[in-house]
Structure 1
Amino acid sequence: MFDVYITKAGKYLPNEAVTNDEMEDILGKINNSTSKARRIVLRNNGITTRYYAIDKTGTITHNNAQLTHLAIEQLYDKDFTKSDVELLSCGTSSPDNLFPSHASMVHGLMDNQSVELNSSSGVCCAGMNALKYGFLSIKSGNSNNAVCTGSERSSTWMIADKFNNEVVNLQNLEEQPILAFKKDFLRWMLSDGAGAFLLENQPRGEMSLKIEWMESYSYAHELEACMYAGGDKLEDGSIRPWQDYPVEEWLKQSVFSVKQDVKLLDKFVMEKGSLSTKHALDKHGVSSDDIDYLLPHVSSHFFAKKLYEELAGRGIIVPEEKWFINLSRVGNVGSASIYLMVEEILNSGKLKKGEKLLLVVPESGRFTYSVAYLTVC
Structure 2
Amino acid sequence: MTRTDAVRPTAHLAAIGTALPGAPVDNARLGRLLGVSEEWIDIFVGTRARHFAWDLETGEVRRTLVDLCAEAGARALESAGLDAADIEFLVLSTATPDTLLPTSATQVADRLGLDHLPVYQLQAGCSGAVQALDLGRALLAGGAGAGLVLGGDLTARHLDVRRDPARMPTEELVNYVLFGDGAGAAVLTAEPLGERLAVRGVLNSFAGLGRPAGQTVDWYGISDRHVERPLLTEDYKAIEERVPVLAAEVFWELLDRVGWSTADVDHLLPPQLSERMTARVVEHLALPGLDEVSCVGDTGNTGNALPFLQLERLLPRIAPGRRALAVTVESSKWIKTGFALEKV
TM-score norm. by structure 2 comes to 0.89
Q: Which amino acid aligns with 2:76?
A: L
Q: Percent identity?
A: 20
**Which residue of structure 1 aligns with residue 301 of structure 2?**
332
Q: Deviations over 1:117-167 (max 9, x none)?
A: 1111121111111111112211x1331111001111114421234677964
Which of 7, 12, 15 is 2:14 aligned to? 7
Cα deviation for residue 46 of structure 1 reads 2.6
CA contact (8 A) 1:46 1:301 kept: yes
Q: Aligned partners of 1:222, 1:285: CA distance in 2, in Å? A: 31
Q: Which amino acid aligns with 1:61?
A: R
Unaligned 5+ runs, structure 2 = 1-7
> Residue 46 in 1 paired to residue 46 in 2?
yes
CA contact (8 A) 2:254 2:340 kept: no
**Which residue of structure 2 aligns with residue 192 of structure 1?**
181
**Which residue of structure 2 aligns with residue 20 of structure 1?**
27
CA contact (8 A) 1:14 1:67 kept: yes
Which of 205, 209, 224 is 1:247 aligned to? 224
Q: Aligned partners of 1:318, 1:137: CA distance in 2, in Å? A: 37
CA contact (8 A) 1:217 1:276 kept: no
Cα deviation for residue 11 of structure 1 reads 0.8
**Which residue of structure 1 aligns with residue 3 of structure 2?**
none
Which of 334, 337, 340 is 1:367 aligned to? 334
Q: Which amino acid aligns with 1:131?
A: L
Q: Which amino acid aligns with 1:46?
A: G
**Which residue of structure 2 aligns with residue 234 of structure 1?**
none
> Residue 216 in 1 paired to residue 208 in 2?
no
Which of 116, 136, 139 is 2:138 aligned to? 136
Cα deviation for residue 345 of structure 1 reads 1.9
**Which residue of structure 1 aligns with residue 172 of structure 2?**
183
Cα deviation for residue 74 of structure 1 reads 0.4
**Which residue of structure 1 aligns with residue 154 of structure 2?**
153
Q: Which amino acid aligns with 2:142?
A: G
Q: Aligned partners of 1:153, 1:17: CA distance in 2, in Å? A: 15
SS in structure 2 at match of 1:160: coil
1:79-158 map, 5 Å: 79-138=81-140, 140-158=141-159
CA contact (8 A) 1:16 1:51 kept: yes
Q: Which amino acid aligns with 2:9?
A: F
SS in structure 2 at match of 1:183: helix
CA contact (8 A) 1:274 1:311 kept: yes
Q: Deviations over 1:73-127 (max 9, x none)?
A: 1023394112221100001111112233231222232233222111111211111
SS in structure 1 at match of 2:126: coil
Q: Which amino acid aligns with 2:211?
A: L
SS in structure 2 at match of 1:127: helix
**Which residue of structure 1 aligns with residue 5 of structure 2?**
none
Q: Deviations over 1:321-364 (max 9, x none)?
A: 51111222222211111101101221x3x221000000001111
